[in-house]
Chain A
Amino acid sequence: MQYEITLRLGYAYAHPAAQARHLLRLQPRTVHGMQRLVAARLDVEPSNPERMVRTDFFGNIVHSLHFHEDHAEIDLRLLAYVERHSALPVLDVAPSIDRMRLELAGLNDLGPNSPLHFLGPSPRISDLTPFRDFAMAALRPGMSPVEAMRAIGAALSAQMTFDDEATDVDTPPLAAFEAGRGVCQDYSQIMIASLRAVGIPAGYVSGFLRTLPPPGEERLPGADAMHAWVRVWCGNGIGWLEYDPTNAMAVADDHILVGYGRDYADVAPIRGVSRTAGGQTGHHTVDVIPVG
């Protein structure tokens, strides 16, 4: 399946900002066997910032922008064409969780895909303990990591209500968990914390999700959004599997990957610092259109 993805993202400042520096993790990447980035371009207003592109530790594509001049707003427009391969059904040949832990202990690789990065606390998921009882309650003896992923995902669906006003991007996972409400970022970080609390490596995935309009209705332009989900390490044999806790489903070919990280902090779509007084307002629209 090939997609055309259009993302518009912008901020307007109450007072002109100067010396702004932003890091963007918006551009889908190529992951062998999963998706291929065919082409992408990023247009920026004001049009004169210094720009650099590189990849980060986890292999994500990072654009950095540096605006010298005063500016009252910035607008970003990303256009990307991505070839998404259909995910193959997973045969659960994973070992039990206990056996997987032994495999982990034998690993001595700290490359970007190593599960060892995804076992312990991370910047936004600093304390795993509060999630332990919740995760333990979902598990049964002898489960494989794949089964554990589905069980914890299902338990989370039962526990949480989708609510896009209850939290914001800075809400800690524990607060969202205790409130029982949140959006994809909260679902994902809570699920990651729960998996790690029982020793299963889990990471944060940011990306795009193609959404379908309700039956009989036209698709509204800009209705899609950036999305987040989870990846879970299921032992040496299977490796990483992806799961979307917000929709309680395995990740399929409607999910387009942008970045991998330990939590939101590693893959925030935009991270910026500017010198400005007063507030700012932001907007963000996404269209994911199949193009054959």
Chain B
Amino acid sequence: MSAVSREMAAGLPPLVASYRPLDGIPDEMIGPDGSIRAPWLPLLAHLSTLSPAEIAARFGRGDQYLRDAGVYYRHYGKGDVASRDWPLSHVPVILAESEWQALAGGLVQRAELLEAVMADIYGENRLLESGDLPGTLLAANPHWLRPLVGVKPASGHFLHFIAMDLGRGEDGRWWVLGDRTEAPSGAGFALETRVATSRVFAEIYRQSNVHRLAGFFGAFRDMLDRMRAPGTGSVGLLTSGLFNETYYEQAYIARYLGLSLLEGEDLIVEGEELKVRTIDGPQPISVLWRRLESAWCDPLELDERSRLGTPGLLDAIRAGRVTMANALGAGALETQAFLAFLPRLCERLRGESLAIPNVATWWCGQEAEYHYVRENRHKLVISRANANRLPIELDPQGSTVPEAMTLESWLDEERHALVGQEAVRLSTTPAWKDGVLAPRPMTLRVFLARTPDGWQVMPGGFARVGQTLEPGSIAMRHGSNVADVWIVGERPVPEPSLLRKDGAAFMRKQPGTLPARAADNLFWLGRYVERTEGMLRLLRAYHGRLAESADTEAPLLQQVAGLLETYGMDLAQPLPAEVLSSIQSAVTSAGKIRDRFSLDGWSALVDLASSAEQIGKQVQPGDDAARAISVLIRKLTGFSGLVHENMYRAMGWRFLTIGQAIERAIGMADWLAAMIPADAPDGALDLMIEVGDSVMTHRRRYAMAVPESVCDLMVLDSLNPRSILFELERMQAHIDLLPGSRRENRLSPLGQALLKLRADVATMPAEAITPEWLLDLKWRIAGLSDALTDTYFA
């Protein structure tokens, strides 16, 4: 048994002294001779100065960061979807720069090999002719997409950003466990894990010569920019959408790199040109970093069931008008079976052997290999040749034999569809368990990007660390944790950042044109937020009155209840479900445009949703509810404030503001129509002034509340930010600045409708305002929403 050498252990706390790597299994912290590896010493020395409480507080800092940033992992179980906190393993994996550089050379070799194989299977098929790759295997590969055969990538390259999963085997060497060529996820998680870990170990991180990640992303971003065709707009990130388990990460990395976050629906192919549907009409785009699986990208030529894709995308790709990073069909290389052939393909295509071996794999479609696997079936892991997940992720126990079959009958009947793989014993790395460090198995996910200077390896990545000593526990679905990976140099490392001067290419001159779908979501976010506020104000007034009289049959309460019911609210609950669903709609709209949102704005909204849910469960009618609702109103106005204070004054902000203004004007017209009739219950006008947040102003300006005074203040007073006229003027200011608002000096139909509406309101005498007029006004304002939708979001 290896153990920490006595001399080292003497000066270290029990958390390391009791650390025992497993017999015969390499450990990242403890070298083969039992001594602590040098790059770990500063971190351990630092940890040893901290009390358990201090350590807990630091770990908490990292967790808090991730929670605030909204980093989560979405887990798909049988029939349910649950989000859980990002499972940060606070102790990073630390590797020496010298070891990393040797590794990186091998990874680049592998990336070049994968590119060459990709070019062959979508090109001349020489590897088939020479017999190095079996035809039956490729033909059965579901990710080998026939419509892409013979299509040359516009940039000259198929692969631009790939990932690999690595493990360190018993012999201490690194092994490739799997290649991720389709649309690898995790680069954004690596960044967030880095930020969280650097907060946990803030002092030591800065002193430790840890290689930074920003330079890698900068170079990749530079490459994406360079591949753009002249006259085309910014680079897009093609997302798999809100419901994908890594959507959060996609939005994060898009924002970090300044890419437009686009869904298939945002794109349109005109002739052979790919364009983004924006509020200013379709705008050409020529480079997409693709996070959507190939098969879903074009329902016309690929999977016909796809509702995520862009019809005609393949026409644009065939015409060489768009560069996909990575090329469609790159998933073919991810299948397990390729691992059986890559060693030989490397010899064949590059005349050299693989610098980093991959896990030994045998395809059972070959005679000798089949017999070998059959004989060693209990030692090997048997899995599907065309599966693209690591066997270790699929089943911790080893082979998953289909029901009603034995391992033997499976191998005999489906041999062409199966591979056998050597079971890998993974190295261990320290994880924090019950107040001490304990060894846990781990794999490494590394990322490679093609840059103007060729392939670069991200100096870091993330490690998946098992919860238990079982190798299968490294699968995220089985509850593994994620640790940062520090590559530590002997000399200080440069500190690049995307925000700094080292990449002139990142200096964005103009914000890109707003995609129509983003505008749509911003508009509805504005509407939902405002609608929620209206509901809450009415509800608070209701509960406030209820606290005074407790008689739900009182005419005034009945009147408000009637209004609340028009929002679909059921007053049996103090905080009706309708309020929660309105907040949820706002969260959903905001979620679809997370790349355009500040972290604070998002956090405020999520906080509002969770507060509302909490309050909804425990609040009592009457005073209790009124107070709780006041808290929600403050949080909501906090969100609005953040948005208006911090959001860049681009088109997106205008749509959000127009949404708020329309919703507020509609609500005001509706409420007034119910509250100003002569037969309205006593107190209706006072209540109206209260929900309109105009108590002070009204008291100052008018002797008493009569319908005329209330209408004057809440409809016609263009200085009152709650009045309808004020909202119409606000809308006009923004609509005038939208694209296409004037053509040959004439207002757009939307602008004309708004101008007429505004004139009608401005010239209306307060005493002539009737409930009927208000209801008609409400419908005319709602009509503006439709006109806006037709003009900009269709």
A residues bordering B, Cβ < 8 Å? 18-19, 21, 23, 50, 52, 54, 56-58, 64, 66, 68, 104-105, 107-110, 114, 116-117, 119-121, 123, 265, 268, 271-273
- Give the residues in chain B near A123, CB-CB below 8 Å: 303-304
Instruction: Decide if B139 touches A119 in the complex (CB within 8 Å).
Output: yes
Question: Considering only CB atoms, which chain A residue lies closest to B142 in the complex?
Answer: A121
Extra A-B contacts (17), CB below 8 Å, given A108-B134, A123-B303: A23-B300, A50-B271, A57-B146, A64-B300, A66-B270, A107-B135, A107-B136, A109-B129, A109-B135, A114-B139, A116-B139, A117-B146, A119-B140, A120-B139, A120-B140, A273-B300, A273-B311
A24 to chain B, nearest CB (A): 11
Q: Are A108 and B268 interface neighbours, CB within 8 A?
A: no
Instruction: Report whether A21 and B139 are in contact in the complex, using a CB–CB cutoff of 8 Å.
Output: no
Contact check, A116 vs B135: say whether CB atoms are below 8 A apart. Answer: yes
CB closest residue in chain B, given A274: B311
Interface: B619 (CB within 8 A):
no
> Within the complex, what minimum Cβ distance (angstroms) separates A97 from chain B?
16
> Do the beta carbons of A21 and B131 come within 8 Å of each other?
no
The answer, yes or no, to whether B424 is at the interface (CB within 8 Å) is: no
Query: Contacts A52-B315, A273-B311; is A21 near B269 (CB within 8 Å)?
Result: yes
Q: Which residues of B contact A105 (CB under 8 A)?
A: 136
Instruction: Give the residue among B140, B271, B311, B315 with the most A Cβ atoms within 10 A.
Output: B311
Cross-interface CB contact of A57 among B131, B147, B299, B300, cutoff 8 Å: B147
A23 to B311, CA, bound (A): 10
The proximity string for B residues 276-302 relative to A, scoring 1 for CB distances below 8 Å and 0 otherwise, is 000000000000000000000001110
A110 with B300: CB separation less than 8 A: no
* Contact between chains at A108 and B128 (CB < 8 Å): yes
Q: Determine which of B129, B301, B311 lies in contact with A108 in the assembled complex, contact meaning CB atoms within 8 Å.
A: B129
CA distance A261 to B139 in the complex (A): 14
Q: A57-B149, A108-B128 are in contact. Are A119 and B136 (CB under 8 A)?
A: yes
Which of A66, A265, A268 has the most chain B CB atoms inside 10 A of its CB? A66
Bound-state Cα–Cα, A39 to B134, Å: 40
Chain B 134-167 near chain A by CB (<8 Å), digits 1 or 0: 1110111010001101000000000000000000
| Prevailing SS type, chain A contact patch | mixed
For B147, list chain A residues within 8 Å (CB): 56-57
26 residue pairs from A and B, CB less than 8 Å apart: A19-B268, A21-B269, A23-B301, A52-B272, A57-B149, A64-B300, A64-B312, A66-B270, A66-B271, A66-B312, A104-B136, A107-B135, A108-B128, A109-B129, A110-B135, A110-B138, A110-B139, A114-B139, A116-B135, A116-B139, A119-B136, A119-B139, A123-B303, A123-B304, A271-B304, A273-B299
With a CB–CB cut-off of 8 A, which chain A residues contact B303?
Answer: 123
Residues from chain A with a CB closer than 8 A to the CB of B299 are: 273
Q: Residue on B with the closest CB to A117?
A: B139
Chain A residues whose CB sits within 8 angstroms of the CB of B146 once the complex forms? 57-58, 117
Query: Could you say which of A52, A108, A121 contacts B131, with CB atoms under 8 Å apart?
Result: A108
Given contacts A21-B269, A68-B270, contact A110 B311 (CB under 8 A): no
Q: What's the nearest-Cβ distance from chain A to residue B730, in Å?
A: 32
Tell yes or no: B559 within 8 A of A by CB. no
- Cα(A48)–Cα(B22), bound, Å: 73
Q: Which residues of B contact A108 (CB under 8 A)?
A: 128-129, 131, 134-135
Distance between A207 CB and nearest chain B CB, rounded to angstroms: 21
Across the A-B interface, give the 6 residue pairs with the lowest CB-CB distance, nearest first: A116-B139, A273-B311, A57-B146, A21-B311, A108-B135, A108-B128
| Among A19, A107, A119, A121: residue with most chain B CB under 10 A | A19
A21, B128: Cβ atoms closer than 8 Å? no
- Bound complex: CA A57 to CA B139 (Å): 13
Interface size bracket, B side? 20 to 34
B603 adjacent to chain A (CB < 8 Å):
no
B786 to A: closest C-beta gap in Å: 14
B125 is an interface residue with CB less than 8 A from chain A: yes
Q: Which residues of B contact A117 (CB under 8 A)?
A: 139, 146
Interface residues of B in 617-649 (CB under 8 A from A): none
Task: Tell me, rounded to whole Å, the shortest Cβ–Cβ distance linking A199 to chain B.
Answer: 10
Q: In whole angstroms, what is the CA distance A21 to B139 when docked?
A: 29
- B128: chain A residues at CB < 8 Å are 108-110
Chain A residues near B269 (CB, 8 Å)? 21, 66
- Cα(A23)–Cα(B268), bound, Å: 16
Closest-CB distance, A154 to chain B (whole angstroms): 27
**CA separation between A268 and B301, bound complex, in Å?**
11
Interface string of B241-273 (1 = CB under 8 A from A): 000000000000000000000000000111110
Chain B residues with Cβ below 8 Å from A56 are: 147
Q: Which of B104-144 contact A (CB under 8 A)?
A: 125, 128-129, 131, 134-136, 138-140, 142
Please give the distance in Å from A89's CB to the nearest CB on chain B: 31
B386 and chain A: residue at smallest CB distance:
A120
In whole angstroms, how far apart are the Cα atoms of A54 and B301 in the complex?
Answer: 13
Q: Are B136 and A265 in touch, CB under 8 angstroms?
A: no
CB contacts (< 8 Å) of B135 on chain A: these are 107-110, 114, 116
Question: In the bound complex, how far is the Cα of B282 from the Cα of A68, in angstroms?
Answer: 12
Instruction: Let me know if B125 and A110 touch, CB within 8 A.
Output: yes
User: When chains A and B are docked, how far (Å) is the Cα of A198 from the Cα of B134?
Assistant: 21
List the B residue with the shortest CB-CB distance to A265: B304
Q: How far is the CA of A272 from the CA of B135 in the complex (A)?
A: 32
- Across the interface, name the chain A residue whose C-beta is closest to B306: A273
Of B134, B272, B312, which is in contact with the most chain A CB atoms at under 10 Å from its CB? B312
User: Residue on A with the closest CB to B315?
Assistant: A64
Complex Cα–Cα for A133 and B212 (A): 60
* Contact residues in A for B131 (Cβ distance below 8 Å): 108
Task: Please report the C-alpha to C-alpha distance between residue A68 and residue B312 in the assembled complex, in whole angstroms.
Answer: 13
The smallest C-beta distance from A74 to any residue of chain B, in angstroms, reads 15
Which A residues are in CB contact (< 8 Å) with B272?
52
